[in-house]
Amino acid sequence: MIKLRRINNKEFVVNADFIEFVESTPDTVITLTNGVKLVVKESVDEVIEKVIEYKKRIFEGIIFNIQPLQKEHEG
């Protein structure tokens, strides 16, 4: 989940896994996989960075949880 701001500065959270497109029209418009469009204050690059950080946290958590399991099976 990533935090974003609507044009009126109201903060909301969106599931980054459901983002299909992010475009600048000139406002930043996010299209979700269900066709819903969200207009946000953040730039396209800021949205991309938030998604990357979100994915990093998930994958780091997965790797952290897998490594101890691998060590248990080796020992």
28-70 per-position pLDDT tens digit: 999 999 999 999 999 999 999 999 999 998 888 776 666 555 5
Contacts 24+ apart (CB under 8 A), 9-15: 9/41, 14/38
Regarding the domain delimited by 2-65, which CATH topology (the fold level of the hierarchy) does it fall under? OB fold (Dihydrolipoamide Acetyltransferase, E2P) (2.40.50)
Q: What's the chain's length in residues?
A: 75
pTM score above 0.75:
yes
Beta strand pairing call for 2-5 and 11-14: antiparallel
Instruction: Look at residues 36, 40, 44 and name the one whose alpha carbon lies nearest to residue 8.
Output: 40
Domain extents for the chain?
A: 2-65
Which residue is listed with tokens 């299909």?
A: 20
